[in-house]
Structure 1
Amino acid sequence: MNPGYIGLMGLALLVGATDLLVKGAGLALIGLPLLTLFGLALPLLDRHLTDTAYWLSALLLSALLVSLASLLLQAGAYELHRALGPFPYLLVLPCLQLALRERADALEGLRAGLFFALLALLLGASREALGHASLFAHFDWLLGPAALGWPLQFGTDGIPLFALAPGAFILIGTLLALWRRLTNRTADTR
């Protein structure tokens, strides 16, 4: 299977769960260590297992790590766990995308985790700012009562489209266009 297809399926996680910055931060806090650990374990699996056993082990390891991360989130930030619903379990998809890649080194998981965390935070912040006209809303779900006074309100109303899935696709497309523009500009100057 093409890793790009699994990557596209992994977008469901970001589109569905990043309508608030706190949700994006929660996914980043789960995704970064999870993908890093999974990436570190992949070379060990690849070295000691045949193809079929490798894929089965990669699937089971990703499911185990995601389940453990979800349990830790439930124990530490129950309200955030409830707000995210089933979306953290979709972190299995980026793990499987890592397993499908050519395994160059053990740091591939760290790179994927950093990219995922950055994208989750960026989407969460921009969707909350544009869709809800606020920032840091519900951060008490993650940090407790100390964060109750954190929310910033930019006005009375945002643009509700950006808080919904179609708005997330618009923002992802805009971020991809900006990324291509920036990378093409730096490539042209070399």
Structure 2
Amino acid sequence: MIKSPFLQNSLMLAPLIGATGSLVSAVGLWLMFMAVTSAFGLSMNALRPRLLSASRLLASVLIAATLTSCAELGAQAWSLQWHQQMGVYAGLIAVQCVLLEHSGYFQSSLADRLRMCGVFGVLMAGLGLLRELIGYGTIARHLPWLAGSAQADWQGWALSADGGLRLAILAPGGFILLGMLVAGWQIWHRPAP
């Protein structure tokens, strides 16, 4: 397998589009990503010198699946509504851990790892905030989910009385918004003629 940063970054696209329907879902999945990848990195750094190169892939798959399953069970016990909202995207964290291990991410410097996780977190939170603002017309609509309570009367800070454009909270709306943001970024950073 070719160690391609394109592949490791493209796997982050699914949670970036699917789990960013609201700010709370995006931040919660990013926090879970940080916790699982940190625990995975520590585990593999302890085991890597003791493993043969042929058994490293199997060990990383088992550790990633175990840690992700434990994190999902913890999320389900903490807040069932939030766990149901992010659903399948948490399982992709295990695949991402294995791919990051294979690409040498955990052997890179701490600054590089923190930069990648930070960029991913900013993208998740930013896209979640934009999609929630456009789709619901609120900010932090499901904040009690992340706090572990099921407070039914909290609706977030409403910015629009009639809601918003519902397409923004669906996956196609996420692709459209991300495409518009990438196009805006390219226009903004275009070299002067």
CA contact (8 A) 1:36 1:113 kept: no
Q: Indicate conservation of the 8 Å contact 1:132/1:160, yes or no.
A: yes
* CA deviation map 1:72-100 (0-9, x unaligned): 11111121112222221111132123112
Counterparts of residues 132-143 of structure 1 (less than 5 Å)? 132-143=136-147
User: Within the alignment, does 1:19 sit opposite 2:25 as a pair?
Assistant: no
Report the residue type matching 2:140 in the other structure. Answer: F
RMSD: 2.8
Partner of 1:74: 76
Aligned to 1:65: 67
Supply the distance in 2 between the matched residues of 1:107 and 1:162 (Cα, whole angstroms). 34
How many angstroms apart in 2 are the aligned matches of 1:140 and 1:96? Answer: 32
Which segment drifts farther, 106-115 or 46-55?
A: 106-115
Equivalent pair of 1:36/1:110 in contact (CA under 8 Å) = no
Amino acid at match of 1:168: G
Match of 1:173 among 173, 179, 184: 179
For these two proteins, the number of residue pairs brought into alignment is 186
Percent of aligned pairs sharing the same letter: 31
Contact 1:39–1:110 at 8 Å: present in 2 too?
A: no
User: Aligned residue for 2:93?
Assistant: 91
1:115 pairs with 2:131: no
Per the alignment, in what secondary structure is the counterpart of residue 91 of structure 2?
helix
- Give the structure-1-normalised TM-score: 0.81
Which amino acid counterpart does residue 118 of structure 2 have in structure 1? L
Distance apart, 1:70 and its partner CA = 0.7
- Structure 2 unaligned blocks of 5 or more: none
Q: Deviations over 1:24-82 (max 9, x none)?
A: 12102211122222233333333222222111111111111111111111111121112
**Is the aligned partner of 1:158 residue 2:164?**
yes
Give the corresponding residue for 1:127.
Answer: 131
Note the C-alpha offset of 1:180: 5.7
Counterpart Cα distance in 1 of 2:183 and 2:44: 32
Distance 1:74 1:180 in 2: 39
The answer (yes or no) to whether the contact 2:141–2:155 under 8 Å persists in 1 is no
Change (3 A) 1:147 1:50: farther
Q: Does structure 2 conserve the Cα–Cα contact (< 8 Å) formed by 1:22 and 1:142? A: yes
Could you list the runs of 5+ residues in structure 1 that have no partner in the other structure? none
C-alpha distance 124-147 of structure 1, shift in aligned 2 (>3 A): farther
| TM-score computed with the length of structure 2 as normaliser | 0.80
Q: 1:21 to 1:114 in 2, by over 3 A?
A: same
One-letter identity of the residue aligned with 1:119 = L
Retained in 2: the 8 A contact 1:31–1:116? no
- Deviation at 1:157? 3.5
